[in-house]
Amino acid sequence: MAAVGIFGPVTTVLADAVSYLLSAARALRAIGGPEPHPTRTNAARLRPADLLDGWRHILTHPSLRPLFFNAILVNGLIMAPAPLLAVLMLGRLGFAPWQYGLAFGVACTGGLLGSRLAPPLVARFGQHRILRTFGTLRACWPLGLAFVSPGVPGLLVVIAVEFILIACCGVFNPVYATYRLEQTPTDRVTRTLSAWSIASNASIATLTVLWGFLATVTTPRLAIAAAGLLLLATPLLLRKAVNHHPNNTPANPAQPAPSTP
């Protein structure tokens, strides 16, 4: 976004295309020697029945079920208003494309900070306390995006809200991914994670369409506010999930598992 605003769309697209050509050339030069012939394996493909088994495991598990609904609602309600915020900022509020890109580029550094803080926080306070605390905190901030105003104050509001939100998600996501794996038998991991990912992506797509209609019949600002208000109720599901395992003994400070959708 910033490059488009500074150099124009044509120059930016040409520079991007050249970077891909250079990357491809570097990759070709790095290839040395013939590639070994691939061996055929007997691993079965994931079937619809496997996905149903994954959803069955999720929906019958006392901890995974509320965690699942919390995750798909939070992800959907955070992502659905994103296009509306772009319409609001770049249209009615008159922000330049580079300002929009700057706001989210700076805010994304919060994810790096959060991911670095996750292991020591879990080691000190325990896995379940971190899940409850940061799972609640990540739902508190998006409502602030409904109050974005023109000019520098509005830009600072977006940067602050998105930075704190992404930082909270940066702490929560790896801890939640680790917890989800701990509650899933090893022979069901692929089925469970695949079913979880499909449901999450489908919910984001569905809520994005619904919020587009909501913004059409109301305004983008009201639709963003509605998503923020609904998010405030999602920690109730999270509390149900972790209350099934009340032991908050600090976990092993080893690196948590990488975040998965």
What would the pLDDT profile of 192-202 be if each residue is shown by its tens digit?
999 999 999 99
pLDDT at res. 93 = 92
* CA dihedral sign, ordered 65, 66, 71, 73: positive
pLDDT at res. 160 = 95
In the 8-state DSSP scheme, what is residue 243? T
Given a cut of 70, the residues of the chain with pLDDT beneath it are: 1-46, 242-261
H helices within the chain, ranges in order?
A: 2-7, 9-30, 48-60, 64-79, 82-87, 97-107, 109-125, 127-137, 151-182, 189-217, 220-231, 235-242
Give tens-digit pLDDT for 1-39: 555 455 555 455 556 556 666 665 665 565 555 555 555
pLDDT at res. 30 = 55
Specify the amino acid at residue 152. V
pLDDT at res. 52 = 86
Residue 142's φ and ψ, nearest 5 degrees, are -55, -25
Of 3.40.50.12780, 3.40.50.720, 1.20.1250.20, 3.40.190.10, the CATH number of 48-242 is 1.20.1250.20
pLDDT at res. 121 = 95
Do 88 and 148 contact (CB within 8 A), yes or no? yes
pLDDT at res. 136 = 92
pTM of the model as a whole? 0.73
